[in-house]
Amino acid sequence: MVFEIRTAGPEDAAGIARVWAVVMPQLVMTPRGVEAGLRNSSTRVVLIAVDGPDVVGYGNVYLPDPEQEKPRVRITVHVPPEHRRQGIGSAMADAIGAEAARVGAGSLLIVVSDDDASKAFATKRGFVIGRRMSGSSAELSAVPEPLPAPDGLRVVDYDQVDPRQIWLASTAVADGDPSGLSDSPAYDEWLAAQWDHPDLRRDLSVAVLDGDTVLSFVTTTADPERRVIWSNLTGTIPAARGRGLAKVVKSTALARARDAGFVTAHTGNDAGNAPMLAVNEWLGYRVTGASWTAEKAL
């Protein structure tokens, strides 16, 4: 195979979506969503490996805050199984690592699949395997009915809430993610890349409000063609924890997705996040796979 690595453009969206569908089918990565990300996100550098018209590898660098000194930078490298062992992964890893170094990374953070070959690929390149991540799925026909909000609080979908309040709540919970995979982009970047993302279903994304303040929320992306949803982020601000609000927002979101004709819900969690795993088990999620974080100092 003769391949080249180049910067991705919106015209590559369908090929990139096919790569994601093979390597991480539980995620919602539709062609139109990928295209929007390539057009609107200013916080990533995306590279692809191509063999003629075909996308045979994918990588990205999540750009750090330029004010940070030697930051930990998250990266991604994916090669579909049918294109592995041809040097694509190594070339992609080198190109992505060089791009991360160019923007001042002091270390790299990546998610590695839970198979021996993937973990060996990472450790051979100096990464140290870290935290276990679990992937879970639930059949929406079997989810419990929505729980009501406690007295004095309101349950709303994202069409009924100020997006800045969702951003504030997301920022408040990001640092508590033990995996280190959550980020806190500036509001304008978040608005363009996440709130206006075409795969976001605001009608299936739910928040609990106290007045106008978001206490708990779940953000849902959806692929109507495959009839699947992905719970992109579920969080409760620190001051409101211990009140069962995550169960309220997520049970409401899943029931609405079921009623909208979706069949399966997917999500991912740090395997050490016991409170969220307990909520998911109550909702009917069952663990279907695993992955690992891995870090490398530069």
Q: What's the confidence (pLDDT) of residue 102?
A: 94
Mean pLDDT taken over the chain: 95
Q: How confident is the model at residue 177 (pLDDT cuts 50, 70, 90)?
A: confident
- C-beta atoms surrounding 252 within 10 Å: 24
pLDDT at 163: 97
pTM for the full model?
Answer: 0.93
Order of strands, sheet of 264-270, starting from the edge strand that comes earlier in the sequence? 4-7, 44-51, 54-62, 72-78, 107-113, 286-297, 128-139, 264-270, 228-236, 213-223, 206-210, 154-157
Q: Give percent above pLDDT 70 in the chain.
A: 100
pLDDT of residue 131 exceeding 80: yes
What is the band of 282 on the pLDDT scale with cuts at 50, 70, 90? very high
Which pLDDT band holds residue 202 (cuts at 50, 70, 90)?
very high
Q: What average pLDDT does range 249-275 have in this prediction?
A: 96
Query: For 74-85, what is the mean pLDDT?
Result: 96
Q: What is the pLDDT of residue 139?
A: 98
